[in-house]
Copies of this chain bind each other. A is one copy, B any other.
């Protein structure tokens, strides 16, 4: 399974509406689920999208505004009732760990999994690493301490060239080494170079989550070269002043950031509740960066398809 899918659970901003839920998404990396922010209602949207609680082991909270974390209590309670095992790690600022830790200890005392808080801060840092991905946090520019996250796939395995392997009688047990790039040595000692038996692996993809932030060179530098960027687009051009004042971005600024960072694709989200239709945001963004799309609740985006 090589899934690298982004599931949008919520892409609204602070004031709830009937059109959008507050911020939350789930990145499915080869069957392991990584939640990014957890606004109220995230657990319900997980059910709606048939994403399994048992596969969720890491939650990343970008900052301590309610629309990015108020869903944690309900989600964790439900995971406890569902009998989730193993460890659930919440990557969060210190104050958040203290506040939510106290609530969870009171309301969710009995839980069949270990709950760990990984304390993060606004410095750039690798905060998670496994065989498939590395997660790096980096500072955003908001009214309160706030970070973005870059999810970088590890280099993928090479593809087996089946006819070539057959021709050289490569046994099944050697395939895994080939996928990792080793040459094959025949029983008689002849070295067959790896590139005669395999083809290039699929590209490793990277995804950056940038919400909430104003348009900022610091952010652009941090996400330089990332394939996919999710960037908040709270406002349209007509609300540029509000964006600056509230440390948010316009859709156009999000697109400028994506272009300047050399991204391949941009996803907009965190829409202000004043828009009943975000197509105006899409239009303004596409004037700067055509490969832009609008996030919507219930949407699954295959990040492998650039």
A residues near B (Cβ < 8 Å) are 14-18, 22, 40-41, 43-44, 47-48, 64-67, 70-71, 73-74, 77-78, 81-82, 95, 99, 102-103, 106-108
9 nearest CB pairs, A to B: A40-B74, A66-B77, A66-B107, A70-B74, A70-B73, A15-B81, A41-B41, A18-B47, A16-B78
Query: Can you identify 28 A-B contacts, CB atoms within 8 angstroms?
Result: A14-B81, A15-B78, A15-B81, A15-B82, A16-B43, A16-B44, A16-B47, A16-B74, A16-B78, A17-B47, A18-B48, A22-B74, A40-B40, A40-B41, A40-B43, A40-B44, A40-B71, A40-B73, A41-B41, A64-B107, A66-B77, A67-B77, A70-B73, A70-B74, A70-B107, A99-B103, A99-B106, A103-B103
* Extra contacts besides A15-B81, A16-B47, A70-B107 (20): CB < 8 Å: A15-B78, A16-B43, A16-B44, A17-B47, A18-B44, A18-B47, A18-B48, A22-B74, A40-B41, A40-B71, A40-B73, A41-B41, A41-B44, A64-B106, A65-B107, A66-B74, A66-B108, A67-B77, A95-B106, A99-B106
Complex interface: chain B residues within 8 A of A17 (CB): 47
Which residue on chain B has the smallest CB distance to residue A95?
B106
Give bound CA distance, A40 to B39, whole Å: 11
Give the chain B neighbours of A103 by CB distance below 8 A.
99, 103
Question: What are the residues of chain B within 8 A of A40 when measuring CB–CB?
Answer: 40-41, 43-44, 71, 73-74
State how many copies of this chain the complex holds. Answer: 2
Question: How would you classify the secondary structure of chain A's contact residues: helix, strand, loop or mixed?
Answer: helix
> How far does the alpha carbon of A65 sit from the alpha carbon of B40 in the complex, in Å?
17
Complex Cα distance, B18 from A65, in Å, reads 26
Interface centre among A14, A64, A74, A108 (most CB of B within 10 A): A74
